[in-house]
Amino acid sequence: MQSIHKKILLDNKLKCLKFGVWTYFILLLFEGALRKWVLPGLATPLLVIRDPLALWLIYTSWKYNFWKINFFTVSVFFIVYIGIGFALIFGHGNISVALYGARIFILHFPLMFVIGKIFNKKDVEQLGRVTLILSIPMVILIGLQFYSPQSAWVNRGVGGDISGAGFSGAMGFYRPPGTFSFTIGNVLFYSLVSSFVFYYWLTNVKINRLILILSSVALLASLSFSISRTLVFTVLIVLLFSFVTIIRNPKVLRKFFLLLIVILMLFLILKNFSLIGTSMDAFYSRFDSASNIEGGVSNSLINRFFGAMFKSFSHSNSVPFFGYGIGIGTNVGAKILTGSSGFLVAEWEWARIIAELGFILGFFIILIRVLFSFSLVLKSIKELKSGNLLPWLLLSAGLVIILQGQWAQPTILGFSTVFGGLILASFNKGKNILISPH
């Protein structure tokens, strides 16, 4: 009787935890809307609205044996603990800045593993269906933002800023942010959409066909409305990863070519609509101008990925041995210390980590992210061999931000947490299993 009662208790706790993950995801998608349109006066505290939830998820999942600390989390906790001490003794000396910087690693990074334990593959697929449904009204919103002046309410910035939330684009048009505070949120959202669009086209997993077609249209339309080369690069990478599935699973070949035909047909149809055609012209214009500056697509890709890595280590000689202090590289840290937001130490992620923690501690944090990313690649390949395409396709869009995404930016941090958690959860094909009790 006692064991039955305990099982009921754990089942209820698991449902609460899953609801918590869903809440984290919804807040990630709409916290920008709260900060811009609903509660602009609370824009600053809403920036960390997901932090208490992340703490509760971590503590509760640990307490009820759904998750326990592992090599990655223990290592990060140890390094960050030392980093806080260095920041207070040798660095900026501000405890608020140090704790704000530490929350990245002690809350959101472990949350990836928590999501990976309390979610399973079916939960991930359900989240994917909801994501595809949301992509349809989202593309309508960014279309309105694209064609509306920055002074329009739909383009209102954080805190009700009437100067607008759009970012410079091309031909007088701005890159729209959607429901997010900044345009990067829109880019990362449709990167996630692309993973699920390709997944549902290439598998027999149940989904409403009309939703799948409409979300595919939304994805294609978002490429032009976003005026973002990053989003285009990501979708191309997802397409490349999808092609690799053919090598591992020849049965996917027919569906892959069907997907290509669908994409081509949708593209030819959409380009004939003036609303899409104008946005495509703006995208082509920005693509050409940016390529001329950065030296073409291949150079742009190399500079964005490998260039950031090399620059991070090449400039490490000028960084103090103990670093400038954890948190100083965040916008909030800069605001607290100087009164204005900006990049005080470095713009690129790995360079920021080294500048904050010093070369030795920074190197180990980077190494942990590299090892974790590598483990996801190996496990995803193994799952791909067994016919599970989901982790591989999620990895295609999420690998870069997990590896070297700018975690100092809350939206990027949130999507990195979601991507990492969903990839881990997609390995779980059955029910959630409790670990051994304390």
For the ranges 147-156, 281-290, 322-331, 404-413, which has the lowest average pLDDT? Answer: 281-290
Q: Once rounded to an integer, what is the mean pLDDT over residues 299-324?
A: 68
**For residues 70 and 159, what is the distance between their CA atoms, to the nearest angstrom?**
39
Instruction: Name the phi and psi angles at 173, rounded to 5.
Output: -100, 155
- Retrieve residue 367's tokens: 């190494």
Please say if the pLDDT value at position 234 is more than 50: yes
Q: Considering its fold, how many domains does the chain have in total?
A: 1
Q: What is the rounded average pLDDT for all residues in the chain? A: 86
Residue 432 lies in a domain: no
What's the one-letter identity of residue 285?
A: S
Predicted confidence at residue 434, as pLDDT, reads: 45
Residue 438 lies in a domain: no
Predicted confidence at residue 152, as pLDDT, reads: 84
Nearest-10 crossing angle of helices 253-270, 209-225: 60
Q: Once rounded to an integer, what is the mean pLDDT over residues 412-433?
A: 88
Q: Once rounded to an integer, what is the mean pLDDT over residues 348-368?
A: 93
**For residues 93 and 199, what is the distance between their CA atoms, to the nearest angstrom?**
48
Residue 377 lies in a domain: yes
The CA-atom distances, in angstroms, between 285 and each of 231, 289, 302 are 16, 6, 21
The model's pLDDT over 262-297, given as tens digits with 9 standing for 90+, comes to: 888 877 777 777 667 677 767 666 666 655 555 555
Q: Measuring CA to CA, which residue among 232, 225, 217 is closest to residue 279?
A: 225
Residue 69 lies in a domain: yes
The confidence band for 423, taking pLDDT boundaries of 50, 70 and 90, is very high
Predicted confidence at residue 436, as pLDDT, reads: 39
Q: Once rounded to an integer, what is the mean pLDDT over residues 353-379?
A: 95
Higher-pLDDT residue of 168, 138: 138
The model's pLDDT over 40-51, given as tens digits with 9 standing for 90+, comes to: 888 888 989 999
Higher-pLDDT residue of 175, 329: 329
The model's pLDDT over 8-53, given as tens digits with 9 standing for 90+, comes to: 888 889 999 999 999 999 999 999 999 999 998 888 889 899 999 9
Residue 384 CA neighbour count, 13 Å, CB half: 26
Please say if the pLDDT value at position 121 is more than 70: yes
Cβ atoms of residues 161 and 169 within 8 Å: no
User: Percent of the chain at pLDDT above 70?
Assistant: 86
The confidence band for 254, taking pLDDT boundaries of 50, 70 and 90, is confident
User: Percent of the chain at pLDDT above 90?
Assistant: 58
The confidence band for 392, taking pLDDT boundaries of 50, 70 and 90, is very high
The CA-atom distances, in angstroms, between 411 and each of 87, 136, 290, 404, 430 are 25, 21, 24, 14, 30
Q: Once rounded to an integer, what is the mean pLDDT over residues 103-125?
A: 97
Residue 262 lies in a domain: yes
Please say if the pLDDT value at position 125 is more than 90: yes
Cβ atoms of residues 120 and 18 within 8 Å: no
In which domain, by residue range, is 371 found?
Answer: 2-425
What's the one-letter identity of residue 341?
A: S
The confidence band for 376, taking pLDDT boundaries of 50, 70 and 90, is very high
Q: Does the global pTM surpass 0.85?
A: yes
Q: Once rounded to an integer, what is the mean pLDDT over residues 392-397?
A: 97
Q: How many CB atoms lie within 10 A of CB 15?
A: 11
Predicted confidence at residue 172, as pLDDT, reads: 64
Residue 181 lies in a domain: yes
